Amino acid sequence: MIGAMHLWSRLAALAHSIFDPPAEPLDADGADCAPNANDVDFTAAVVGLAAKMAGSDGAVTAREERAFMRVFPPPRGEEDAFRRVFDLARRTTLGFESYARRIGRRYRARPCLLEDVLDGLFAVATADGAISPPELDLLRRASDAFGFDETAWRRIRATWLGPDPDDPFAVLGLTPDASTDAVRAAWRRLAADNHPDTMAARGAPEPFVRLAHDKTAAINAAYSDIMRRRAGTPAHS
C-alpha cells in the first residue's frame, strides 16, 4: 500500500466512488501482516478512518494531517493527491464505522495488520498532545470492528495512553493477579511480536515498523514496573 507509485493519484482520480463500494474478504495468510499489494480499497478505508477521526473533535488540524502523512507517507510528488484524498474522505458521507468494518472484513485473517492500523490511528489521535473523548470513542469502535476483544483493546490503549497508575498489567494484556511466570511470558511474546525487526520480517509497512519502537518501549517499561513492584524496589532506586 504505502510505496505503490501513483496510488494517491489513482485514489484522487477515482474521487467519491472509491469511498463507496464494500470490501470483500480476502483469502489471507495469517502470518502475513501487510496489506495486499496496491490494495486501493484498503488505502481508501484507512484514509477515511484517519480523516473522520481527526475531524471528530471539530476540525482537522495541520498537526493531525502531518501525523497521518508520517504514518502513511505518500511517495514523493504525490503530496497534493494525498491532500485531495484526505479532504475528500473527511467530507464524504460514508461513516467511520463503515470504513472500520470494511478493513475488518477484508483483513480479519491478519490481526497483526489490523493492530498496526489501530496503532496508526492512535498516532494521529495523539498528534496534538491530547486525545479527546470523541477520538477515544472512535478508536474503541474501530477496535470492535476489527474484532479485538476487551483484553486486546485494554492492552493497545494502555500502550499508547499509558496504563492507570496502579495497572501496568494492561500493557501486557494481563490482570494484576497474573503469576510472575505469566508476566514474563507475556512480556517476551509481546516484545518479540512488536520488535521492529520482527515487524519488518513479517511484511509490515515501513511506517508501522517505525511506530514499533515506541510500542516496544512501552511494553518494556510496563514489564520493568511490574517486576520492580514485585521485588519491592522503590521507583527511583
Distance CA 188, CA 190 (A): 6
Q: Which percentage of the chain shows pLDDT scores above 90? A: 20
**Crossing angle, helix 62-71 and helix 206-231, to 10 degrees?**
100
- Mind listing the pLDDT tens digit for each residue in 34-66? 777 777 778 778 878 887 877 776 666 677 777
**Residue 191 in contact with residue 184, Cβ under 8 Å?**
no
| pLDDT score recorded for residue 178 | 92
Helices (H), ranges, 55-95: 62-71, 79-91
Greater confidence (211 vs 190) lies with 190
**Residue 207 in contact with residue 73, Cβ under 8 Å?**
yes
Distance CA 211, CA 71 (A): 8
Domains and CATH numbers, the chain: 1-148 (no CATH), 152-237 (1.10.287)
> What is the pLDDT averaged over residues 139-164?
91
| pLDDT score recorded for residue 220 | 93
What length does the chain have?
237
Distance CA 188, CA 207 (A): 23
| Banded model confidence at residue 155, pLDDT cuts 50, 70, 90 | very high
44 is written with which cell numbers?
481508501
The three-state DSSP-derived secondary structure of 140-174 is: HHHHHHCCCCHHHHHHHHHHHHCCCCCCHHHHHCC
- Mind listing the pLDDT tens digit for each residue in 103-151? 898 888 889 889 988 988 888 888 777 788 888 998 999 999 999 999 9
| pLDDT score recorded for residue 94 | 64
pLDDT of 203 higher than 80? no
pTM assigned to the model: 0.70
What stretch of H or E contains 100?
helix 96-106
pLDDT of 80 higher than 90? no
201 is written with which cell numbers?
520480517
Distance CA 169, CA 235 (A): 16
